[in-house]
């Protein structure tokens, strides 16, 4: 199964110049735990990712209001991503190896086209199981990936 078959396509983004308040606002409004960060030069490339934990820790360690903290100071600069045509097993392996729950999904030009989360994988496994099919979402299994990430 390919990543593009189960990924979430509607992804909210922010730029590195946005405030953490904007990132937190997007996470709250759209019920997501991370926001991909795109460059401000308009090329649409992912330059980082900021999580709800990043927001909380930046507020705690910097002692400032969220509107006063730029996303660039709290985001992870190393982006672990996969491509839409990769297999879900490959994406899960990336999640396990890097201990992450979500992967930005890129197209052939490295532009953001979606995000794949453990939730997406678990939902597909449940859908396959309730349809009476042998679950073939991934090689290792959702529980193995979740245990590795957690």
Chain segment 122-131, per-residue pLDDT in tens? 888 888 877 7
pTM: 0.82
The token pair that represents 79 in the structure block:
């982006």
Higher-scoring residue by pLDDT: 14, 134: 14
- List of E strands, 53-149: 82-83, 102-106, 112-117
| pLDDT at position 131 | 75
Q: What is the mean pLDDT of residues 5-27?
A: 95
What is the average per-residue pLDDT within 81-92?
95
Give the pLDDT mean for 108-114: 92
Q: What is the pLDDT of residue 24?
A: 97
Higher per-residue pLDDT: 5 or 42: 5
Q: How much is the CA Rg of the chain, to the nearest whole Å?
A: 16
Report the pLDDT averaged over residues 93-116: 94
Task: Give the pLDDT score at 134.
Answer: 57
4 token code pair: 């593009």
Q: What is the pLDDT of residue 5?
A: 94
Inform me whether the pLDDT recorded for 146 exceeds 70: no
Beta strand 34-38 with 46-51 is antiparallel
Instruction: List, in order, residues 6 or more apart from 23 with CB less than 8 Å away.
Output: 14, 35, 50, 55, 71
- Smallest Cα–Cα separation from 1: which of 142, 114, 135, 144? 135
Q: Give the other-Cβ count within 10 Å of 137's Cβ.
A: 25
């Amino acid at each position: 199964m390919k990543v593009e078959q189960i990924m979430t396509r509607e992804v909210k983004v922010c730029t590195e110049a946005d405030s953490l308040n904007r990132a937190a606002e997007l996470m709250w409004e759209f019920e997501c735990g991370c926001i991909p960060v795109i460059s401000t030069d308009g090329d649409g490339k992912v330059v980082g990712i900021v999580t709800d934990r990043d927001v909380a820790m930046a507020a705690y360690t910097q002692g400032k209001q969220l509107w006063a903290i730029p996303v660039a100071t709290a985001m992870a600069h190393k982006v672990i991503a996969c491509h839409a045509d990769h297999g879900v097993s490959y994406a899960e392996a990336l999640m396990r190896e890097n201990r992450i729950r979500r992967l930005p999904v890129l197209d052939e030009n490295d532009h953001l086209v979606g995000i794949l989360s453990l939730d997406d994988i678990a939902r597909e496994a449940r859908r396959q199981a309730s349809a009476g099919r042998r679950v073939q979402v991934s090689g290792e299994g959702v529980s193995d990936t979740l245990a590795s990430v957690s």
